[in-house]
Chain A
Amino acid sequence: MLLQQLADGVATGAIYGALALAIVLVYRASRTLNFAQGELALLGAYVSWQLVAWGVPIWAAVIVSMAALAVLSVAAEKVLVRPLVKRHQALPLIIVTLGLMIAINALIGWAWTYQTKEVPPLFGSGTIDLLGVAVSRQDVGIVLTVLAVAIGLGILFEYTPLGLRMRAAISNPESAELSGISTGRTMSIGWAIAGGVGALAGTLIAPELFLHPGMMAPVLIYAFAAATLGGLDSPPGALVGGIVVGVVENLAGTYLPHGSDFKQVVALVIIVGVLLLRPQGIFGRREVVRV
């Protein structure tokens, strides 16, 4: 029973980790939080669903959806976010991404109604026996997919010229620009990857939660908790944070009285606790306050 809970926790945690990864990529690129990240992922899930409904195979649908959301994220960054990041204003940034979150949610409701939709699981149904625990194929597939994405991004950042440029632009934007790196472009690439990873996360989780316009809001908060826990500027931290949050959430839901209600408070407790005790998270760098 406990092992079963742990396995479920790791699978949902991997999804939180994937969305947290999107949040971290955006934070690294623009030093801001995108409150619309969850709804962008939801839009990705709906695009996948729509393509499947039109007869496209699910895997192709996911890839198209990731590409579409990457493009949309870049557009949102250029039009809505960059002008405000340049002015260093936190409040308008929060207002604008919040506005985007509501607007996208409404758009989804208008385009696809508020009825629940069924997304086929990407990895088929049924279970696999892992060390005596029956784990659903979907859970295993989710964990492996997220792991593959994480490793792919790790290789991109650490071992490719593009990754080097992106890290340079984050480490010292001015010197990067003076070395011939367009920091605007690396910023856009960060948002594009975030949009794609988000769309993947949305499509992966849709079969578990049933696709409806309210699906992503709680996931977003868990993802924020995961990103905060891991450290807002650390991609590996986002994944580890995601899994920790997923497991804690699952255990709290099962073993605490009023568990299903308390587990929604878990995210708040984690966010507040981490920000107060260790604001840089587990893996993040301590930020110097600029005056």
Chain B
Amino acid sequence: MSTDVTAAPKARGEAPRRESVAAWLRRPRAPLSPPRWLAITSVVVGAAALVAVPLVNPSYINLTVTLVMIWTIVGLGLNLLVGFGGQVSLGHSAFFAIGAYAVAVGGEAGWGQGLSLLAAAVVPFVVGYVVGLPALRLHGLQLGLVTLALAMATPAAIRALEPLTHGSRGISIDGDPPSWMPLAHDQWVYYLALALAAVAYVITRRLAKGRLGRSFVAVRDAELVAETLGVNVWQTKTRLFATSAAYAGVAGGLYAMLLEFVGPENFNLALSISFVTLIVVGGLASVPGAVLGALFVQYVPTLTSDISAAATGATYGVVLILFAFFLPYGLVGLVRGSLGRLVARIPGRRT
């Protein structure tokens, strides 16, 4: 058992060693800081392109882009909870389902689309609040377990609530635009999703950067310390959970309008897993990460399903493991790492 000294002290004044690839990937990164002109130009060009998409594309393309925006909304909310709040949820498919059924049931009751979508936000918020009150006494693993059980029970719960949900038969929904609007169904839902995703994005950025966001992070990193600093931990967590549920609900409502049908099997465990994959791939605790993650969960399965039925699951599983180990900051971290210096070199005034 004669072992050599392995951890030799680094001599002082030695040139910094080249960072290993793994360490480079694991390093936290500051957001890109483009000059003002570039930031404004990209937002304007991007917005114009997004507005133009449904006017020049066939409906099946609009459908997939709309889905990306729906996943983005879920991802923004879930990331608020998991990334900024440090609370796990493997059960957001449940809130997504509640939102979808709020629109479906609202449509049957003749509420009109505006009121139905509002219900798709409010009902999951309230349910999230009620669920959150006790659930947030639980920590990490326990919350993971409870929400996993929630995700798995969701289809059965929908079937069991037959008087409201019509069980396995599902509910058809009228997602057409108001008659005075010169838009097709796919264009109408696209613009609705675009508007709501934009609003969600802006709100999330505000939340993440504002006082509330800081109290979330404080609660995540040091609950006891936050408490002594006057943050109401319990209330912060519950609000966070409810807010995050409301995001998923709105997305679920849009999803129902897009598909014009909801049934229990739309909301299974696989959906919840794709939500988790979304935020892990995009980047935990990063707002733009939700967009990259949404692109991933929308387009990667369409590529992999050509290979085999198992390829999507295999890809998600392997990607989750790889990202947890090697890319804790997700694709956003990768983009920041590779483009950060380049963007920083572009001349112009920065804010």
Direct touching of A and B (C-beta under 8 Å): yes
Q: A33-B145, A110-B314, A265-B157 are known contacts. Are A102 and B152 too (CB-CB below 8 A)?
A: no
Q: Any chain A CB within 8 A of the CB of B269?
A: yes
The answer to whether A271 and B149 have CB atoms under 8 Å apart is yes
18 A-B pairs within 8 Å (CB atoms) are namely A91-B88, A92-B325, A94-B140, A94-B141, A98-B90, A101-B317, A103-B318, A105-B317, A106-B311, A106-B317, A114-B309, A217-B152, A217-B269, A262-B160, A263-B156, A265-B156, A267-B153, A272-B149
Q: How large is the interface on A (under 10, 10 to 19, 20 to 34, 35 or more residues)?
A: 35 or more
**Cα of A220 to Cα of B134 in the assembled complex, Å:** 23
Q: Any chain B CB within 8 A of the CB of A275?
A: yes
For A102, the closest partner residue in chain B by CB is B317
Looking at chain A's contact residues, is the secondary structure mostly helix, strand, loop, or mixed?
helix
The answer to whether A276 and B149 have CB atoms under 8 Å apart is no
The answer to whether A102 and B320 have CB atoms under 8 Å apart is yes
**Cα of A221 to Cα of B152 in the assembled complex, Å:** 8
Q: B residues engaging A (CB < 8 A)?
A: 82, 86, 88, 90, 134-135, 137-142, 144-146, 148-150, 152-153, 156-157, 159-160, 162, 224, 269, 273, 276, 280, 284, 308-314, 316-321, 323-325, 328
Q: List the A side residues contacting B138 at CB < 8 Å.
A: 275, 279
Candidates B86, B134, B156, B312; contact of A91 at CB < 8 Å: B86
Q: A217-B152, A272-B146 are known contacts. Are A104 and B317 too (CB-CB below 8 A)?
A: yes
Looking at chain B's contact residues, is the secondary structure mostly helix, strand, loop, or mixed?
helix
The answer to whether B145 and A95 have CB atoms under 8 Å apart is no
Candidates A92, A96, A106, A279; contact of B312 at CB < 8 Å: A106
Candidates B152, B280, B313; contact of A103 at CB < 8 Å: B313
B194 CB to nearest chain A CB (Å): 30
Candidates A93, A225, A228, A272; contact of B134 at CB < 8 Å: A272
**Cα of A89 to Cα of B86 in the assembled complex, Å:** 11
The answer to whether A99 and B153 have CB atoms under 8 Å apart is no
**Cα of A271 to Cα of B134 in the assembled complex, Å:** 12
Q: List the B side residues contacting A93 at CB < 8 Å.
A: 141
Q: Any chain B CB within 8 A of the CB of A264?
A: yes
